[in-house]
Amino acid sequence: GSPWTFELPESGDYRITVSGPYEAKKVIPYTLTVAIEGKPHPVPPQGLTGTYGLVEDPDSTIEILQLPDDRLRFHLLALWKGAKWKEYGPNIGEAFGTVKLEKNRAVYREDGCVLAMTFKDDTVKIDQEGDCGFGHNVHAGGTYRRTSLCAAPEAGLR
């Protein structure tokens, strides 16, 4: 009900998420106005933190937040776009969690799914083994290139 402002700590990409109480019985109207003031300055990379898009299809993404204790929090969204995907939507696969980083490599394992992530420069190569419970024809394997220095992998952890 009241205006709110926030000073950004640094330049970069930011995500604004608006959510309300899930138990609300009606739609709650609101207005969102965003204004940016000041001069941007370059943001240095923060380790491996960032959003990476699949080279073959940048709509498939992995968001990574590098934590201080050699762990990575990630949220992977993999898509398969069939012949009529624009009409029916793509098939979707999703994985998220926290993994240990060892020598530019991290491995996620859960219920027969293995996602091995290898980092080099501004890319992460994902090798998928097993059934990850993704949608029909969805596979997460491939090379992803960093498209942003910002990430919010917490979105998948809700």
Measure the CA–CA gap between 55 and 61, rounded to whole angstroms: 10
The confidence score (pLDDT) of residue 12 equals: 64
Q: Could you tell me which residues come within 8 angstroms of residue 81 by beta carbon, excluding any fewer than 6 positions away?
A: 57, 59, 90
The confidence score (pLDDT) of residue 10 equals: 65
Measure the CA–CA gap between 111 and 133, rounded to whole angstroms: 9
Tokens encoding 59: 């709509």
Residue-by-residue pLDDT tens, the chain, 158 positions: 567 777 776 666 677 777 666 566 777 777 888 877 777 666 667 799 999 999 998 889 999 999 989 999 999 999 988 888 788 778 889 999 999 999 999 999 998 999 999 999 999 999 999 989 888 899 999 999 999 888 877 754 44
Measure the CA–CA gap between 82 and 21, rounded to whole angstroms: 36
Measure the CA–CA gap between 49 and 64, rounded to whole angstroms: 5
